[in-house]
Structures are given as C-alpha cells and as structure tokens.
C-alpha cells in the first residue's frame, strides 16, 4: 500500500522516529487542530487536549484515529463507528506512572500531617489498570485497602468489593481511578458531589488523578473551606486549562494533569499507537524508543532506620512531586488567557521524569525489610 499520511500531536514523544517507514508524519498543536489540517491525512494521532468528533473529521480522508492516552472521553467513539473510522487508545500505558504519583502523594500527606500511613485505610474508586497497581502498592506503605468498582463487581470478577458509601465513610484517603462517563449506570460525572463529600470520614483526604469532572470542584472547594475534609490533592481539574485558582490554593498539592507523564508512560503510549496502526493497516514495524539518560540514578538513604521515611526519601529522589506543585503555583497571578496558557505550557514542556525502576538504592546498612519494600515499589536494590 502507499505511504500513510499521518497527523500527530506534537507532544507525542518520538512519534516521528516511531512511524519512520510507516508514513509521512506531520506534527500539529493538539489544542488548536482544525479540519483543514486533516484534508490530506489517513491517520490522526492525538492526546487528551483534542476533541475528536464529526466537526473535526467530516469530509476528511482519515481512516484511523488513535489517542496516546488511557482516557477516551475526548473522542466521540459513536461517530467514529458510524463513519467507519477505526479507533485505538493507549489503555494502561501510564498505569505505573500514576500509581507512583499516588505513592508519592500519600507519603507527602503523611509528612505534612506528622503522622504515619501504617494502619490507615486507602479507598480506591476504580480498579482498572491504574487502580489495580495502586492497590498492589498500598500495602507496601502499610495501608489497608477498600476497593469500589461496580462494573467489575457486576461482572463477578474476583475481588473484595465495597460500596462507594462505605469506602467514603471508612477511608482516611480516597483516590479516584475511573473513566469519565457522562451518563448511564456507571456515570462518573460528578461522582463526588456535595452529598458524597459530606459522606466522607471527617478528617479524610481526597485525591483525584482520573478526570477533573469526576469531582464537583465547586462542592470540593466548599468542603475544604468548611474544613469538612483534612485536605485534597488534585492533578486533574474541571475546566482545564482554565482551572480554579481558588481551589488550587486550598489543595495541599496541585499539579497540572501530569500524574501519568513519566517518560516511560509516554513512550508506552507511542509504542501502543504504532502497534495499533500496524495491526490495522497490516504492517510490520519495529521500533525501540530512546530513553533519556537518568540524572542521579543512585539513591543514597544514609543511615535511615524508619521504614516510611526511607520510602519517602527514595520517592522524593526519583520524582520531584513538590516541584510540580511549585511550578503550577508560580503562575497563579497571571491574568486573562495567560493563566490557562501557562497550565498548557507546563504540560507541553514537562521535564523528563523516570519511574522508580530506573533508580538503584545504595543498600549498605539499610534494613532488609526496608530494602524489600523499596524493591516492591520498583526500585533496584542489591548488586
């Protein structure tokens, strides 16, 4: 067949190298992409900032749409089906990246409160690719786990399932890992509204890294102002990129929708897009991503003997979560359209972030239980 004509979001890493030999790649700004840019395109590759629907694709030759993200709420899949346009997502590509973000968040909350995670309860709403990894990591932090996932429960998938009300009433931390469903039995739009927030255990923490609209941001702001919750950590927001600065100020940690932005997760997304295009067009294409060099790959913990503090130091070495928070807050005084543009810029120019598996812990003098916990979180240990 002839060479494919591919239009790709410029923020899909190494997309030109990955599709070399498959087709001609033209890069585009995903936020401002128009139909005119697709009049000579067979394949469209996007991220979550592009709304893919009939308005964008009608009367174009596009035959395949791929999103290098796990979420698909920005894609009108019903239209694609009617139009005979194939579709693929990068489901699961950044599961570990988001899970490591949650680990870092929990460790920072404990440090902020001057307490320990051991013996407390984490409620996980959504037990898919990401929620499943979070559920695996939580006991390493000493946490008990409650899981809510009605679709899996109805499908009789083995697991200990807990109703949402019970999760909210009994959890010290609640983290959300659900898709954005705007209607139907499993609607998640404003899954956490005023009534649900009022149900949460007094002094609990809310963490959202799924989709901004899963949590009613106005209701959350009210709950934080009234001190009904201990606090919140948000990576996703309603009305992105023009997010509520009043809510941001009330969050302990606030980040610009980057929980899944490890370089590992991003390159996984590129690889999954290449695989999907190759399958659809019956191509054979091999590609090895070029992983950037890891700065300071050795984690020196010194003589720390407290297990949780050791995990926190290692997590801070690998991922500068608080720097992401500081970067977002640094732009809060920008006026007009400069504020949403700043939010987008932080995502577009996000620095390279490697996952825990790329870091090795110096194990001299470190207790074996601590080393085992670090290993189970993904860090390299031993010779």
CATH number at residue 335: 3.30.1370.170
**67 and 161, same domain (yes or no):** no
**CA dist., res. 32 & res. 81, Å (int):** 24
| Cα distance between residue 171 and residue 121, in whole Å | 5
DSSP for residue 80? H
Quote the mean pLDDT of the chain: 96
Host domain of residue 189: 95-254
| 290 lies in some domain | no
Looking at the structure, tell me whether residues 109 and 195 fall in a common domain: yes
Question: Is 152 found in the same domain as 184?
Answer: yes
Judgement on whether residues 108 and 164 belong to the same structural domain of the protein: yes
In a domain, 54, yes or no: yes
Residue 288 belongs to some domain of the structure: no
- The angle that helices 95-113 and 263-280 make with each other, rounded to 10 degrees, is 160
pLDDT tens for residues 208-242?
A: 999 999 999 999 999 999 999 999 999 999 999 99
Return the active site residues.
Answer: 211, 240, 257
Residue whose entry in the numeric block shows the structure tokens 């500068």: 320
Q: What is the pLDDT of residue 351?
A: 96
The answer to whether residue 162 is domain-embedded is: yes
DSSP summary character for residue 228: S
Question: Does 383 reside within a domain?
Answer: no
- The answer to whether residues 103 and 245 belong to one domain is yes
Which pLDDT value is given to residue 71?
Answer: 87
Say if 152 falls within a structural domain. yes
Residues 241 and 272 in one domain: no
From the list 199, 209, 191, the residue with the least C-alpha distance to 229 is 199
Q: Which helix (H) or strand (E) holds 206?
A: strand 205-208
CATH number for the domain that contains residue 229: 3.40.50.720
What's the confidence (pLDDT) of residue 383? Answer: 62
Given CA atoms 132, 136, 139, 140 in this order, what sign does their dihedral have? Answer: negative
Number of domains in the chain: 3
**pLDDT at residue 287 in the model:** 93
Residue 64: strand pairing partners = 43, 86
Same-domain status, 142 and 274: no
**Residues 136-145: tens digit of each pLDDT:** 999 999 999 9
Stated pTM of the model:
0.94
- Same domain for 41 and 106, yes or no, is no
Q: Give 59-92 pLDDT, tens digit per residue.
A: 999 999 999 998 899 999 999 999 999 999 999 9
Flag whether pLDDT at 47 surpasses 90: yes
- Give the side-chain half-sphere CA count within 13 A for 272: 23
Is there a domain that residue 292 lies in? Answer: no
Same domain, 84 and 217: no
**3-state class (DSSP) for residue 244:** coil
Q: How far is CA 296 from CA 47, 201, 300, 353, 354, in A?
A: 30, 40, 10, 12, 11
Residues 6+ positions from 329 with CB-CB distance below 8 Å? 248, 254
């Amino acid at each position: 067949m002839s060479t494919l004509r591919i239009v790709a979001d410029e923020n899909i890493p190494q997309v030109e190298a990955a599709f070399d030999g498959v087709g001609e790649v033209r890069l585009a700004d995903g936020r401002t992409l128009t139909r005119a840019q697709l009049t000579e395109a067979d394949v469209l590759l996007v991220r979550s900032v592009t709304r893919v629907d009939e308005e964008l694709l009608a009367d174009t030759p596009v035959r395949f749409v791929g999103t290098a993200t796990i979420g698909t709420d920005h894609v009108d899949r019903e239209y694609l089906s009617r139009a005979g346009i194939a579709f693929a997502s990068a489901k699961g590509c950044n599961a570990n990246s988001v899970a490591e973000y949650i680990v870092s968040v929990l460790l920072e909350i404990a440090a902020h409160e001057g307490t320990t995670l051991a013996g407390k309860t984490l409620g996980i709403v959504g037990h898919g690719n990401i929620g499943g990894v979070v559920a695996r990591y939580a006991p390493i932090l000493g946490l008990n786990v409650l899981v809510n996932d009605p679709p899996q429960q109805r499908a009789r998938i083995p697991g200990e399932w807990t109703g949402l009300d019970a999760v909210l009433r009994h959890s010290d931390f609640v983290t959300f890992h659900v898709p954005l469903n705007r209607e139907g039995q499993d609607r998640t739009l404003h899954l956490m509204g005023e009534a649900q927030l009022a149900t949460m255990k007094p002094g609990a923490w809310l963490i959202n890294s799924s989709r901004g609209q899963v949590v009613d941001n106005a209701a959350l702001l009210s709950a934080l102002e009234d001190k009904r919750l201990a606090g919140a950590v948000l990576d996703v927001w309603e009305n992105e990129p023009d997010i509520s600065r009043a809510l941001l100020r009330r969050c302990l940690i606030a980040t610009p929708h980057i929980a899944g932005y490890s370089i590992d997760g991003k390159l996984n997304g590129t690889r999954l897009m290449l695989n999907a295009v190759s399958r659809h067009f019956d191509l054979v294409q091999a590609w090895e991503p070029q992983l950037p060099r890891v700065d300071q790959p050795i984690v020196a913990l010194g003589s720390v003997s407290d297990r949780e503090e050791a995990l926190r130091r290692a997590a801070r070495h690998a991922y500068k979560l608080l720097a992401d928070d500081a970067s977002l807050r640094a732009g809060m005084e920008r006026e007009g359209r400069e504020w949403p543009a700043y939010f987008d810029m932080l995502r577009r120019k996000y620095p390279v972030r490697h996952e825990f598996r790329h870091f090795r812990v110096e194990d001299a003098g470190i207790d074996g239980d601590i080393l085992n916990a670090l290993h189970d979180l993904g860090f390299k240990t031993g010779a």
